[in-house]
Amino acid sequence: TFLCVVGDQFARLKKGDRYFYDLGGQPGSFSEPQLQEIRRASWARVLCDNSDNIQAVQPLAFQLTGSQFNQPADCRGPIIPRPNLQLWRGERVG
């Protein structure tokens, strides 16, 4: 099916791209703790941190809010987690 072809192509592109962010064993690869923090990041957090005058956003930013599901959450609260950027502190680049 078309979906299988697209999925197979994405897998080949990902594994064939030595700079894809979660492939290990390359110079400059992210550590496992860094990858875990990257995976915690969300579009909702990006909106909260980089938009003016937004106090709340739904945690799954690309999905509509439901009656009780995906209700807007306070950007300052724990529902939309902040990645711990301390894992990159003092890391030498290049």
Tell me which H or E stretch contains 74.
strand 73-74
Confidence of residue 55 (pLDDT cuts 50, 70, 90): very high
Distance CA 44, CA 56 (A): 9
**CA–CA–CA angle 61, 89, 91 (5° rounding):** 115
- What sign does the dihedral 20-25-27-33 (CA atoms) show? positive
**Every domain of the chain and the residues it spans:** 1-30, 31-94
Tens digits of residue pLDDT in 12-38:
887 777 777 787 887 778 889 999 999
Of residues 55 and 65, the one with the higher pLDDT is 55
Flag whether the pTM goes above 0.75.
Answer: no
3 state SS of 87: helix
Confidence of residue 42 (pLDDT cuts 50, 70, 90): very high
